[in-house]
Amino acid sequence: MNDQTGVHTLEDTDTNPAAALEALGLVLPVVKDDPKYINWRSSRDGSVYVSGQLPYRDGVLPLAGVVGDTVAVEDARALMAQATLNALAVAADALGGVERVRIVQMLVFVSSAPGFAEQSRVADAGSELLVQVLGEHGRHARTAIGVAALPRNSAVEVQMVCEARG
């Protein structure tokens, strides 16, 4: 609680990520390594770079296409939440558990139809999930970019930089 105003803020709460995931009905998936690259790499300063994650669910891309054309914004938001959950699972694996994760930056790619300008609304679904699960440790710097195409015709992809909670 802020001593001067008596107002509660996110940073005042000690979010329990495992309990938050359970309350949301979510389980961190197992994200398999790709033989051509690794899912994460740590730097000497303790930052962990999570490779771009697609919205796979149980090894399947549930929906493919271009947002604003063949994929509706609400469907893209659901895909974004799944891709973010996958990236969070990689970060948790890298840092020794979801309770140790602090998100620094998220980079969101949205496969966008010409004239589509709601990339930030799609990206918001991932940001919202991170704050729901990690509280203040889920708040992050973010960039959302519209692109012509993504691997496997995915509608979204997310990359993250994170670190261990201090």
Each residue's pLDDT tens digit, 19-63: 999 999 999 999 998 899 999 999 999 999 999 999 999 999 999
Flag whether 3 is in a domain.
no
Residue 14 has pLDDT above 90, yes or no: no
User: Residue 136 is part of a domain; what is its CATH number?
Assistant: 3.30.1330.40
How wide is the angle at C-alpha 75 spanned by C-alphas 69 and 78, nearest 5°? 145
The total domain count for the chain is 1
Q: Which domain holds residue 144?
A: 13-24+41-164
Tell me if 48 is assigned to some domain: yes
In a domain, 142, yes or no: yes
- What span, in angstroms and rounded, lies between the C-alpha atoms of 90 and 96? 10
26 vs 19: CA distance, rounded Å: 10
